[in-house]
Structure 1
C-alpha cells in the first residue's frame, strides 16, 4: 500500500498580518499531517505565501517600499506563525522564489503548446481584493459602489489586451471527472455548488494583466504578467520540483492527497486548477476540501470590517494547545464556526483540565502510593477491563477511514467519549477499596494507565506540546507514538518506572462580565 501523504494549506496572501482563519487552516492541516505520520506515512506538508498581484503592488506603494521588500516582511510573519502554531510542515513556499517562477512559466508554455491559450481583449469586472473576475450577474450595487455578491468586495471595470485560457473547452471533461470521482470535492455541499456553477456554463478565463507589473512575466511577452491565480495554484507542484517528474518529491507525493482550503477560494481550486492540470496533462489532486470560515461574531473576518481576531492574542492569554484543541473540537469541520472565549474556557476547564489532566494526575498519584511508582503487573483482564480497552482495538480501522474522509468530528468525539469512559472506569472500579486484592488493584491501575496512554497517543496530533509532557509519565516521547499500537493492551511494560508530572492544564477562572 502507498504510504505517502501530501497535504497543503492554501498559500496565504501577505497583504496584511495573519488572522484566525489562517491559523485554523494551518492547525487542521497539521492535525492531518501528524495523524498520518503517527500511522506510519511519509508525510509532505506544504504551506507558504502567495506574493504577486495588484493588491500586493498597491499595498507596497501605500507604504512606499518595493513589493519584494514588502513581501519579505509580511511573509516572515506567516513563517513565524507556523512556528508559533507548532506546525510540522516540511516546506514553506514563496511564489517569489525562482523554483516557483520556473514551474509557472513552464506550465504556461505547456498550456500554450496544447493550444489552450490565446490572445484577445478583456473587458469586465475585476476585484483587486479577491484577485478575481466576475460576470455581470455576480455583482450588485451598494452605496453607489459595484461589489461582488459572493464576497462583498468592490469591483472595477477593466478593459485591456489579455491572454485567455480556454476554460470553456474543459467544461464537460470537468463534469465527467466530478461524476467519476464523487469525493474529489468535499464536503458534499461544496461539490454540489461547483457542479451547479460549471453546468451553468464556463467562459474562457483571462490569465494575464498588462495594467501592473508585479508578477511573473508571461514567457516571450514581458508586457504581460501571469494572472495571480494561475501563478498561485501552481505552488502545489512547484514545491515538488515540477516539471522534473522524475524528481523524488514529485514521484512520491503527486497527486496531492488533499488540498485544504477555505470555501471562499473553492472555485479556483475545484474548477480552474483541475482544468489547468488537465490541459497540461498532469494528474489531478485526489481531493479538494473546502472548510468553513472562522467568524467574528456572525461575520466573516476581514481587514475592511476591522473584526480580525488575532490568534497570537488568544495564545498569549490561554496557550497554544488549548486554542488548537478548541478549533478542532468546537468548529464542526466543513461548517462555519466562531471563537467564543466562554466556550474556549469551558474546553480548558472541562475537557483538558478535568477529564484529561486530572485523570493523569489521579491515576499516577494512586500508582505512586500503591504500586511503588511503577507500572504494575496486570494479572488477568476481566470483562470490565476489556470493555474499555477493546473500544480502541475495534475502532482502529473506523478511525482511519473517517480521517481519510476528513471527518475530524468523529475523531474528537471518540477521544471525548474515551476520556469519559476512562474516568468512569477508574471511579467505578474503586481501586482504593481493593487494597486486600493486590492482583485486582494492579490490573485496574494497569488498565487505567493503558487508557491514558492510548488517549494520549490519539490526542498527540491535536495538542502535541502537552502530550510530550504527559508521555513523560511513562518515560516515552513523540518517537514512541504509533497509532497501530493503541490496539495493543500490553504496550506498557510492567516494572518500568512512572514519573510525576506537573499539572498539564491550569483551570481558567471564569469571569462574570
Structure 2
C-alpha cells in the first residue's frame, strides 16, 4: 500500500471560516477520499495558524486573553471540518506543545548550521498579511494585496534566504511539476529571478509567538513557525514524507513555493512533491470583502441546499486553479441539471422499474449487444481517466468523466426503451436493465469522494457492500435483491 500525504494550509484564526476555507478543505478531502478508495494509505492534515501580531491585535481589540481568543476561533475551524464531512486524519494547532517543541528544534538546527544570524531589520511590513515587502513591490503605498504597510526598524534574526536563489531555480528546473498551475510556477520563478534577500524571521515588538531558543525577547516570524506544521503534525509518522500535495490559495504561494523549500533545504528535510495554488471566489461577480458585507458563509449554504450539493458545486463549477464566481442561480442550475436530472433521475427510473418488473432483484442477462458492450467498456474506462485528472488536481474534469458516463447511460436507456421491451422481449429487457444497474453501481462508487453521503445512499439502494475502486472490476450478481427506489438527489428552486 502506497502512502499519500495531503495538506490544506493551516487557517489563520483571527476571523470566522468563509467560503475560501471551505473550498480548499473540500478539495483536499475529495483528493484524500479518492486516494483512499484507490488503495492508498492517506494522511490528510488540516489545522489552524494561531501566532503573530495580527492575532495579538485582534485579541486586544476584542478585550480577550489571547489564548482564549485563539481557542474559540480554532474551535470554529474544528467544527467546520465536521460540518463539511471532512475525512482529515489530524488537526494541528500551532499553539500545541508538539508543534512548539518541533519548531524550536528546527530553529536550533538552522542556527547551528549557520543559516540564522542576528542583525537589524528595517523595511515595510503588513500586519494583515504577516509579510515583509520590498519598496518596489508597493502599489500606491500599500502591499500588493492592498494591505496597509508600516515601516519597521528593530533587532531581528535573519534567515539566509539569499543563499538559496540558485538552488531553488535549479530545483524548479529539475522538478517542473513542483508548482501548479503553470501560471503560478512562472510567477514563482520570476520572483526568485528578481533576487532573494535574507528574510527577517523574528520580532521583538510583540509577544504572541514561539520564543526564540536562547533569546526569548524575540518571537519567531509567524511563517517560519506556521509552515513547519506540515512536519510537526507527523513527527511520529515520518513514513509519510515527503508530502505529496500542499493545497493552498494563490495569496500564500510565495511562502509555500519559495520560503518553505528554502527552509527545508537548509534544515535537511525532503521537499514536498507539489504545491498547487487555487484561485479566489467572487460573489455574484463582486469581490468578496467584509466591508461590502458579501462574505459567503459556507455553513449557511449547507443549511439552505444540503452539504453534498455545496461540495459538488464548489468542485464542479470552475476548473480547480482558476478564479470562480458564486451565483445562486448557477448553483441551482448546475446541481439540478447534473445531480437531480442526470444522475438522480437515471437511478430513480431504473431502480423503480426493476422494483416493479423484476421483483426488486438484479435481472439475469443474456448475451450483450454491441451497444451494451460499448456502454460497459466506457464505464470501465472512467476510473483510469479520473485517476489522471485527480493527480493533476483537475477536479472538475474528474467529475465531468462521471457526468459523461451518466449522460451515455441516459441515451442508452432512451434508445433501448425497456418499457417497450417489456411488451416484446423480456430477455432483452432484463439485459438492458442489468447493464444500466451495473453502470449506476460504478457511477455511485466513483461519486463517493465528491458527494459521500448521497453516493453511499445510492449504493445502499443496490445493497452494495464492496465500495472501493478495486471493486469496480467486479459485476453485479443476478437475482441479488435491491431496495425500493427513492430520490437521492433533489431539485432546488
Distance in 1 (CA, whole Å) between partners of 2:407 and 2:122 is 61
Number of aligned residues: 492
1-side partners of 2:489 and 2:287: how far apart? 31
Q: Any idea what SS the aligned residue of 2:146 has?
A: coil
Tell whether 2:430 aligns with 1:442.
Answer: yes
RMSD: 1.2
Deviation at 1:304, TM superposition (A): 4.5
Contact 1:396 1:484 in 2 (8 A): no
Kindly report which structure 2 residues correspond to 1:419-430, keeping only aligned pairs within 5 A, or say none: 419-430=406-417
What does residue range 126-141 of structure 1 map to in structure 2 within 5 Å? 126-141=125-140
CA shift, 1:54, in A, is 0.4
**What is residue 486 of structure 2 aligned with on the other side?**
502
Residue in 2 that maps onto 1:212: 206
Structure 2 counterpart of 1:239: 233
Q: Does the CA-based 8 Å contact 1:31-1:462 persist in structure 2?
A: yes
Question: How far apart are 1:388 and its partner, in Å?
Answer: 1.0
Q: 2:70 matched to which residue of 1?
A: 71
The correspondence of residues 288-437 of structure 1 with structure 2, limited to 5 A, is: 288-435=275-422, 436-437=424-425
TM-score (norm 1): 0.94
Which structure 2 residue ranges, 5 or more long, are not aligned? none
The structure 1 residue matched to 2:175, chosen from 167, 174, 181, is 181
CA–CA separation in structure 1 for the residues paired with 2:125 and 2:291:
18
Cross-structure match for 1:147: 142
**Superposition deviation, residue 359 in structure 1:** 1.0
Give the deviation of 1:353 after TM superposition: 1.0
Instruction: Tell me the alpha carbon deviations over residues 164-214 of structure 1, each in whole angstroms, 9 at most, x when there is no partner.
Output: 000000000000000000000011111000000000100000000000000
Q: Quote how far apart the aligned CAs of 1:476 are.
A: 2.5
- The 5 A counterparts of 1:138-287 are 138-141=137-140, 146-149=141-144, 151-241=145-235, 247=236, 249-251=237-239, 253-287=240-274
d(CA) in 2 for partners of 1:500, 1:397: 32
SS at structure 2 position matched to 1:140: coil
- Equivalence for 2:51: 52
- The Cα shift of 1:306 comes to 3.3
Summarize the alignment of residues 35-50 of structure 1 with structure 2, pairs less than 5 Å apart. Answer: 35-50=34-49
Q: Deviations over 1:63-109 (max 9, x none)?
A: 11111100010000000000110000000000000000011111111
Hey, what's the Cα distance between the residues in 1 that align with 2:379 and 2:397?
Answer: 13
1:10 aligned counterpart, secondary structure: strand
Instruction: Flag the 1:343–1:414 CA change in 2: closer, same or farther, 3 A.
Output: same
Q: Secondary structure of 2:142's partner?
A: strand
Find the residue that maps to 1:224 and give its secondary structure.
strand
SS at match of 2:367: coil
| CA–CA distance in structure 1, aligned partners of residues 437 and 301 of structure 2 | 32
Structure 2 residue 468 is matched with structure 1 residue 474:
no
CA contact (8 A) 2:319 2:397 kept: no
